[in-house]
Structure 1
């Protein structure tokens, strides 16, 4: 006589692997979908473009000049704040953080006392009045085109200008990238990461950070600047309470490259460092 319970057991054993396989397959597909979303949406994790609104109506100083230019088919606009003299002693190229706009620099520059310096404020592609789509390559091309347009307006060659650059957060990486392609005298890095991939790992985890299509590498770029222009002055300002880009990253860069001057700004976070370190930054820039 057949044992009905043994037949049921055999049926359960046959069904159990199928259920496990279906479950594992479902979990795998969900993970794959999540990874694909992260991979294709990573641009929106790095860049947060937005237009200017009415709050910026009076941000641009009266003596400022909009520099309009075109890259490929996209129209762009940078902002030039001239020196008091006809030709600037130094031209600072300024890059903001990924959630800010170029004209946010004007708050800091109102108290900049080295009036023989000029500033070119850069928005990333897709930010402010700019067309385009922000990537490392498109940002580099846009900046180069803005500088070229300004040189044509001033009737000066790039070689006749003393170039300097300043950047905050992502902008620090863009500034350093700029310094690897131009002869730059001074570089100010505010709240820099070591690499974008390592910064993403602190926020999202290492396995997700590996999915980044492109990554700014401040270590490699510092080494390249030192090779191209050993006389360049470089300073890092980093808040001790920065929870976005940890202080250790700024320290690590300065430790690895002893020619970099490092300033730890007490009680400053990722954003307030711009106010807390304001006088120190301007003093360093104006030397």
Structure 2
């Protein structure tokens, strides 16, 4: 019986993408280092060697940044996928920290969704060490897409942040998996509840601004999930819904709105 449950958990992990290895194309690494100021950060967790990527701001790229935007990809994506969306000229004082999950890109190990905040914390410590500091004094803003919205909220529940932008978010990981298979959602051992995370974050003394964007044509994570999260506190959560966008097109069609919400006025 134990062997049966272990096998089911293994199948579940494979089907939900948690154990799927997603390597980088050589061109993605080459394009990242085409800008000489960009930095590859390495650190270690119980999953092994982890790698994140730092894109310094245009102004004073060699000093600790005043603002850092942490970007979290979806479960089928990698951190350097964000490079084509970033326009450095529109946020001259913001550095971007691109987070990969274990098993993604150059990072080792297997992802455990409930522990994804560890790679954010490890990357920030590695960046502080790069600058010869114990910790950074920057303001943090976060942006997550799809599965990455959970990772962003996990970090925000543990650390003060200025802004959070959630693109095509889920309510709970179990409900997100149920969109593909209700059987897998029942068997799934891990759980992330974005509703509870948002409630916790908004209960802080200085809660961040939260912006949610969702496409009405999203069939991966239905738009009802974005609406439900926004309804937690309509006065403090800004909600945008786009009738023609799906789970992926929203990143391109609403790029300017996403990044203006993330960085605000500089």
After superposition, residues 124-273 of structure 1 pair within 5 angstroms as 124-156=101-133, 158=135, 160-205=137-182, 207-258=183-234, 259-273=236-250
Residue 159 of structure 1, CA deviation: 6.0
Q: Post-superposition, which runs of at least 4 consecutive aligned residues in structure 1 deviate over 6 A? A: none
Secondary structure in 2 aligned to 1:188?
strand
Residue 267 of structure 1, CA deviation: 1.0
Q: More deviation in 47-56 or 123-132?
A: 47-56
**2:81 matches 1:107:** no
CA distance in 2, matches of 1:77, 1:36: 29
Q: 1:122 aligns with which of 86, 89, 99?
A: 99
**Cα distance change of structure 1 residues 59 and 236 upon mapping to structure 2, 3 Å threshold:** farther
**1:282 paired residue number:** 259
**1:6 paired residue number:** none
Q: CA RMSD in A?
A: 2.2
Residue 244 of structure 1, CA deviation: 0.3
CA distance in 1, matches of 2:154, 2:14: 21
Equivalent pair of 1:125/1:138 in contact (CA under 8 Å): no
CA distance in 2, matches of 1:274, 1:109: 11
Residue 202 of structure 1, CA deviation: 2.4
CA distance in 2, matches of 1:256, 1:174: 19
Residue 143 of structure 1, CA deviation: 2.1
**1:70 paired residue number:** 44
Structure 1: gaps spanning 5 or more residues:
1-28
Structure number with higher relative contact order (C-alpha < 8 Å, ≥ 6 residues apart): 2
Residue 264 of structure 1, CA deviation: 0.9
Equivalent pair of 1:98/1:170 in contact (CA under 8 Å): yes
Equivalent pair of 2:75/2:148 in contact (CA under 8 Å): yes
**1:40 paired residue number:** 10
**2:56 matches 1:82:** yes
**1:56 paired residue number:** 28
CA distance in 2, matches of 1:134, 1:268: 29
**Cα distance change of structure 1 residues 246 and 229 upon mapping to structure 2, 3 Å threshold:** farther
Residue 151 of structure 1, CA deviation: 1.4
Q: Give CA-to-partner distance per residue, 1:112-152, whole Å, 9 cap, x none.
A: 61110011101100111111211035422222111111112
Residue 104 of structure 1, CA deviation: 0.3
Equivalent pair of 2:144/2:166 in contact (CA under 8 Å): yes
Structure ranking higher in helix proportion: 1
Structure 2: gaps spanning 5 or more residues:
none
Structure of higher CA gyration radius: 1
